[in-house]
Amino acid sequence: MDSGVDYDLPYESGIVNMSVGRGTKNFLYRPAMSREEMELCLQRGAEVVSKVHDAGCNVVSFGEMGIGNTSPSSIWMHLFTGISLNLCVGAGSGLDNIGINHKYNVLKRSVENYKGDGTTEDIISWFGGFEMVMAIGGMLRAAELNMIILVDGFIMTTCMLAASKMHPEVVEYAIFGHQGDEVGHKLLLDSMNQHAILNLGLRLGEGSGSVCCYPIIVSAVNMINEMDNFANASITKYF
């Protein structure tokens, strides 16, 4: 789904056009998006999940491909959990120590320049990406439809965090696919009292980490439904 890439994408190749705009604004100086754009992202994310549900699915996986979106994720994590910003900022797609320090300083200035009202909706619109807010809308709709939500790595976990600030019960529908190698991801999961199924040091995006855990979920369901217990297998328990 194209939520707002600043490029003329080849929609005829199968990419679905759900674009809200040609990229977000620079949140160092101004809100990344307007409230109207935020609401449209939430709405379109919900529409996508409704279509998935109507097609017969009861499990939906969320992933993203964005530019620099570990940065808004770090700010969301900091503002929604109170964890120090320096513990939320990592290497992203491969920054060295100089790059990480620069990234931290820019994000620190961005938070200092924030002039919003501190509400969840204001924070996600001021610092979020279109793809991230669209994921929030999809997660909330999936919970409404009693679907299982597979959450990918650091960025999608911060989206689930933001969604939970709007409706806390959404987390009850979530399964966290993997704990990524991004420095803040373990702290973020701990702050949400959540554990990921996989912890393989993965540095993945595009939803690939959550898809990796899907066979394990299927196996768990099969064991519950199909595996013999001691009584059915005529095995005497020992003590």
* Residue for token pair 């320090």: 101
Q: Beta partners for 178?
A: 198
Distance of CA 100 to the CA centre of its chain: 21
* Residue for token pair 């393989």: 200
Q: How far apart are CA 76 and CA 155, in angstroms?
A: 10
From the candidates 36, 64, 121, 206, give the one annotated as an active-site residue. 206
Residue type (1 letter), 152 = D
CA-based torsion, 174, 177, 180, 186: positive or negative: positive
Q: Beta partners for 60?
A: 149
- φ/ψ of 187, rounded to 5, equals -60, -40
User: Residues 6 or more apart from 134 whose CB is under 8 A from it?
Assistant: 1, 3, 18, 20, 41, 42, 44, 45, 48
206 has catalytic annotation:
yes
Residue type (1 letter), 34 = S
Compute, in degrees rounded to 10, the torsion defined by CA atoms 40, 121, 80, 69. Answer: 30
Q: How far apart are CA 167 and CA 165, in angstroms?
A: 6
Residue 176: half-sphere exposure toward Cβ, Cα within 13 Å: 27
Active-site residue set: 206
